[in-house]
Structure 1
Amino acid sequence: MTDDERAIRDLVDAWMTASKAGDTETILSLVADDVVFMLPGHEPFGKAQFAEMSTRQQGMQIEGTSKIIEIQVLGDWAFMRNYVDVTVAPPGAAPIRRAGHTLTVVRKNEDGRWQLARDANLVV
């Protein structure tokens, strides 16, 4: 495994840990300012809308796993295929489980850190 592949895996681990902790600030540090998220049935959206959505999820219990199936590094860009399984428990409501595949593009920024740049999430 290359240093870049390890750093990308660390990015995914940090995302999952921060999600479980409800640490929106850390999650936002893991995404590029020009990030684009794509979800089934929704128009693509960026960092500001993602931050707003994350704020509305405060207080929810999130448990999940991410299994990286493939990583391909191409210079300062890379893509990965994941299988994500997440359970979200809103306060006072039944937990909701979602699972499925994602295709994620990451980019190395000026200080050498990998950040999420594009994410096509097929988790339903």
Structure 2
Amino acid sequence: MRSDEQAIREFHGIWIDAVNAGDLARLLAMTTDDVIFLTPGEEGLGRDAFSTKFSGAHQQLRIRCVSELMEVVLVGEVAYTRSRDSLTVSPRAVGEESRLSGDRLTIYRKQPDGRWLLARDANVLSPVEG
């Protein structure tokens, strides 16, 4: 049987793959019903607002995320990870590519069936100059 830490590490990789694929259905299946996404300068997003923003972004942009998992901490039925993320964002039409980089803190909750789901996600990504 795999450990909870291994499950969280696998979850992280699957999440990043789904982000890069624009697979909203897979992402939503990996979140709690009360999930909140926090980003700089914006109010927290719940499931519906996240869905709208994610879909709109992937219709207009090619998004490529690379994420290095720096830390996994488990405390009973809750876990958190800290990662260092780099995003490359390219318009599907014309326009300049942009890059963002920074840290992300994610909180997971273990479900009664043993699965871990993403409950809170906060990033402090900012534009990379030059």
Question: Is the TM value for this pair above 0.5?
Answer: yes
Secondary structure of the 1:45 match is coil
What is the distance in 2 between the residues matched to 1:30 and 1:64? 18
Gaps of 5+ in 2: none
Deviation per CA, 1:41-67: give whole Å up to 9, x if none: 111121110011111023432222111
Letter in 2 for 1:68: L
Moved over 3 A (4+): none
* In 1, Cα distance between equivalents of 2:51 and 2:71: 27
C-alpha separation between the residues in 1 aligned to 2:40 and 2:54? 18
Matches within 5 A, 1:25-44: 25-44=25-44
Q: Which is further off, 70-79 or 53-62?
A: 53-62
Structure-1 residue corresponding to 2:20:
20
Q: Secondary structure at the match of 2:58?
A: coil
Q: Deviations over 1:21-44 (max 9, x none)?
A: 111111111111101111111111
CA radius of gyration, larger in: 2
1:3 offset after TM fit, Å?
A: 1.1
Of the three residues 112, 115, 118, the one matched with 2:114 is 112
Identity rate, percent? 37
One-letter code aligned to 2:39: L
Distance 1:114 1:90 in 2: 33
Q: For this pair of structures, how many residues does the alignment match?
A: 123
Q: CA-to-partner distance for each residue in 1:63-120, whole Å, 9 max, x for gaps?
A: 2211111111011100111101111212122222111001111111222111111111
Please, what is the CA RMSD of the aligned residues? 1.3
Structure 1: runs of 5+ lacking an equivalent: none
